[in-house]
Amino acid sequence: MKKESGIPKTGKLLIAQPLLGDPNFDKTVVLLVDHNDEGSVGFVLNKPLSISLKELLIDFPAFEAKVYYGGPVRDDNLFFIHRKGDLIPGGQPLGNNLFWGGDIEPLKELIRTDLISPRDIRFFLGYSGWGGQQLKDELAQNSWLVEDLHMLDPLSQNPDEMWRSIIEAYPEDIALWINAPSDPNLN
């Protein structure tokens, strides 16, 4: 695997370097769901929250899927990625049979009829966003590594192991990041 970061685009992963300086992104893996000259949008894949869907949504069928912290932007809105692009109209393809969003009514029907399971979908409160040049600047500062989505299965991989498993695949100079403390002042 290359040490250099790849080029960000929709469907790529951003892997935060430790000591990024922003607790929102401490040892996170972010899936980019939109990337263009005007900015980027993504979801933090490895920060589950202790809140349930039924606490967030009125008139939503019972469904035992976890809710994740997607990022600090619009953290009062719920978003989702899923594998049911053929059954949820309006979803944006991300690659690797993953889709972002789509029509909520067909999703509710899939839940009611058990045609979707928690392994097929992930919900997020908020999203991570970057202005036009912002992500490019952060990449130039080596704040992120960019990887292909095939590095992991974002809907089934254990979120507690996600960041570490990606970093372990890198050469030793980056794999050393695993031992970096979240707060260097505590070191």
> Is CATH 3.40.1740.10 correct for 13-180?
yes
- List, for residues 125-160, the tens digit of each pLDDT value: 999 999 989 999 999 998 999 999 988 899 999 999
Cα–Cα nearest to 28, from 106, 124, 137, 97: 124
pLDDT of 1: 40
Strand partners, 43: 31
pTM here?
0.92
Cα–Cα nearest to 9, from 39, 46, 43: 39
The domain ranges of the chain are: 13-180
